[in-house]
Amino acid sequence: MAGSHWTCPFCGRDTTITEHDSAGDLYEMKVRNSVGPCILLSNFVVCPNPKCKKYTLNVTLYECDKEWIPEMLSKNGI
């Protein structure tokens, strides 16, 4: 898997993040609600700099069509 460019917000180091430096998951909202289907995507990234090793957490909420959910799961390897 190819890595992606990332700059640590704590130590300022430019680096390449690989699957060893990050972890993520998707959660499908299955409870009926007034908005409709949605997915919550979370992603942790740990700075690979041995002197830092601090983490960031990004969380995004997507409103989506029910048909879109399997595609989103597949794109994120879940």
* Structure confidence at residue 55 (pLDDT): 98
Specify the higher pLDDT residue, 69 or 25.
25
What are the beta bridge partners of residue 41? Answer: 26, 60
Looking at the structure of the chain, the number of domains it has is: 1
- pLDDT tens digits, 16-68: 999 999 999 989 888 888 888 888 999 999 999 999 999 999 999 988 776 66
Domain hosting residue 28, numbered range: 4-75
* Structure confidence at residue 60 (pLDDT): 93
73 has a pLDDT exceeding 90? no
User: In the chain, what are the helix, strand and coil shares in percent, each to the nearest 5?
Assistant: 10, 45, 45
